[in-house]
Amino acid sequence: MRFYMMLIIAVSVFLLSCKPAEQAQTVVPQSVTGDDAVAKTNCELTFGMDAWEPYQYMSVGNKAAGLDVELVEAITASMGCDLNVVQGSWVELLSLLKNGDVDFVLGASKTQERESFAYFSEPYRQERFQLYVRKNTEHPAYADLKAFVDAGHKVGVVNEYYYGDEVAALYADETRRTQFVGAIISELNMARLLDEEIDGLLEDSFVGASILRRKGLDKYIQPHSISLGQSDVFVMFSKASVQEDQVQQFNVGLAQLRADGRYNRIVEKYSH
């Protein structure tokens, strides 16, 4: 499977070469304001995008796209805000957010540590993380992730992602922490899985299915019966650059989006 690892790493290196370093001055924002924008005020917001199809990714023409992006474009347009995007890994974007060099990131989980430097919107969708394993390998019917880890299996995760209380509790146990292997992007975990360096990886079920389909890896990797519970997802705003009343305006826009049916229409586009 070394061929697949080299292929994925080559693609990943290409993607990473397009991403900014942590210094804000290296960032070149790209306008993604929707066509239905209202008359502009002095509001301009920059969001950090960690490529995570189908929620957020760069489409043909280097245009930000995806479920989360469309939802946020509609909401910020109703706020009268110009919207720019900065690409980076999740670790890079968290650093930029803390410093106020990006105003918000999408698809975030709320934690006590993050609340020290960020505001959170109302939840705008839910996610469920799935365990993925190699095909054509015998996998006992483990009851949960704890049983999988306690059997000696290594699990790939993405650095600084929050996978919920179950994974946090396992990772906090020093005897189990070494069973978790971090990577900058999920594709590297898939390469490690194919090369048998790890025994499973955690990924959002929709994102995992999208990666496997796009890269033709569904012949070699499959979802395991183990999945984590559903959890709320938020937009995370920088306290260093965003006022709390702007977060409230965003929440009002989100409520309006749900009430007038546009929210469901956007979601339905990505549910097939």
pLDDT of residue 139: 77
Query: Does residue 106 sit in the same domain as residue 24?
Result: yes
Residue 149: CATH number of its domain: 3.40.190.10
Q: Provide the H-helix boundaries in 107-204.
A: 145-150, 165-172, 174-177, 186-194
Query: Does residue 116 sit in the same domain as residue 243?
Result: yes
Q: What tens digit of pLDDT does each residue of 108-166 get?
A: 999 999 999 999 999 999 999 999 999 988 878 899 999 999 999 999 999 999 999 99
Nearest in space to 107 (alpha carbons), one of 220, 206, 228, 211? 206
Query: Does residue 16 sit in the same domain as residue 110?
Result: yes
Q: What tens digit of pLDDT does each residue of 18-53 get?
A: 333 333 333 444 444 444 433 335 799 999 999 899
**Total domain count, the chain:** 2
Whole-model pTM: value is: 0.79
Rounded mean pLDDT of 254-265?
A: 97
Query: Does residue 64 sit in the same domain as residue 167?
Result: no
The domain containing residue 259 runs over which residues?
2-126+232-269
For residues 124 and 117, give the distance between their C-alpha atoms in angstroms, rounded to a whole number. 20
pLDDT of residue 5: 47
Query: Does residue 136 sit in the same domain as residue 220?
Result: yes
Q: What tens digit of pLDDT does each residue of 193-241 get?
A: 999 999 999 999 999 999 999 999 999 999 999 999 899 999 999 999 9
Query: Does residue 22 sit in the same domain as residue 116?
Result: yes
Centre a 10 Å sphere on the Cβ of residue 266 and count the other Cβ atoms it contains.
Answer: 17
